[in-house]
Structure 1
Amino acid sequence: MDYVPEGQLKAMQAYGGDAKQQQMLESTYKTAMQASAQAMSPFTAATGEKAEKILAQMKTGKVLIYRTLGMNQAASSTGEYALDQSLSKALTECAIK
């Protein structure tokens, strides 16, 4: 996803400042926009070792308990999803060991 519209960054250049100040301003703006978008997203993703640890726990577990925070939604909620043979089947079909 593109969290930072290019038009907004170009508009910020009109405020002046030297190249170093512009770079700091753009970097700060991009970081703030990305952090805001991530905080408001109902999704979380993991890769690498963290993802492997999560999958290992899921493979030995019986239930996945999840929580959705209501930051950009009406309310928070908690739910459960049974971890059964369908998980193993799906991982195999996706070539995930």
Structure 2
Amino acid sequence: MIGEISRRITIFLLILCGFATASGCARGPTWEAVSSYDEFSDKTTVMVTTGDWPQPGSRTFSYGMIYPVIMKTVEGLAVGFMSGGQFKVPVGAVQMRVDGNEAIMVTPENTPNISEIEAWFAPFIVDIPGLDNDAINNAQKVAVENAMRMSQPYTLVVGDEADRILDQMLSGQNLIYRQILVNQPNPSTGRVPLDQSLSEALRKAGLIN
């Protein structure tokens, strides 16, 4: 009896899911403007990204996965990738390609620091008589910056390169990307359609006119 009820519920859910898919309600827009609020700094970050749809009408960001992202930073418009999940992991280098355009590598070395680097660097400043303190402090600051970039849960590019990538995305049809990982010669490829929802989300986020 219980088995028959379970079977009927399963059939009903499959029919319902099929109806939702046919009516265009199983998913939401491919690209969406999302925001996050920092209750310590009172800052709200708005970005445009994608996500996963484990069930109709429910967008999630899965742990261990990366997602394309477009946002504003202190250095201007940024395009790249972010880590999903509640506990985010470093993204590292990511290779991306729009349609038949040349593949582009987005690396941590070019990623702007969203957090305040001075706050991290302050405890390391030295002032020792007889030494080249400027050279020592600069070398330590570069080391701290590089360590922060490598550990960040996002990899971004800014400036002219970001503008070029965004132009490709707005005029393209498909985006493919993959993480460049150590000891993983054939990483899986992510694929995202570049449909009308991209430009709509960018306008909603105030990133384009």
Is TM more than 0.5 here? yes
The reply on whether 1:78 has 2:189 as its aligned counterpart is yes
Please state how far the C-alpha of 1:56 moved relative to its aligned partner: 0.6
| Secondary structure at 1:44 match in 2 | strand
Aligned to 1:18: 130
Please state how far the C-alpha of 1:39 moved relative to its aligned partner: 3.0
In the superposition, relative to structure 1, how do residues 27 and 79 fare at CA in structure 2: closer, same or farther (>3 Å)?
Answer: same
2:179 aligned to which of 68, 74, 94: 68
1:42/1:69 contact within 8 Å kept: no
Aligned to 1:55: 166
Q: Distance in 1 between matches of 2:191 and 2:146?
A: 27
Greater share of helix: 1
1:63/1:83 contact within 8 Å kept: yes
Aligned to 1:45: 156
1:63/1:80 contact within 8 Å kept: yes
Q: Distance in 2 between matches of 1:91 and 1:38?
A: 26
Q: Distance in 2 between matches of 1:45 and 1:89?
A: 21
| Secondary structure at 2:156 match in 1 | coil
Please state how far the C-alpha of 1:23 moved relative to its aligned partner: 1.0
Looking at both structures, which has the greater relative contact order when contacts are Cα pairs under 8 Å and sequence separation is at least 6?
Answer: 2
Q: How many residues align?
A: 88
| Ranges in structure 1 where 5+ consecutive residues have no aligned partner | none
Please state how far the C-alpha of 1:5 moved relative to its aligned partner: 3.8
| Secondary structure at 1:18 match in 2 | coil
Greater share of strand: 2
Provide Cα deviations, 1:58-82, integer angstroms capped at 9, x if missing partner. 01211222223447xxxx6531111
> Identity of counterpart residues, as a percentage?
31
**Alignment RMSD, CA only?**
2.5
Q: Distance in 1 between matches of 2:181 and 2:151?
A: 9
Provide Cα deviations, 1:5-45, integer angstroms capped at 9, x if missing partner. 422x14x44xx3436x1111110011112123223434222
Q: Distance in 1 between matches of 2:188 and 2:122?
A: 35
Q: Distance in 2 between matches of 1:86 and 1:42?
A: 25
| Secondary structure at 1:59 match in 2 | helix
Q: Distance in 2 between matches of 1:39 and 1:66?
A: 19
In the superposition, the TM-score normalised over structure 1's length comes to 0.68
In the superposition, the TM-score normalised over structure 2's length comes to 0.36
Please state how far the C-alpha of 1:86 moved relative to its aligned partner: 0.8
Larger radius of gyration: 2
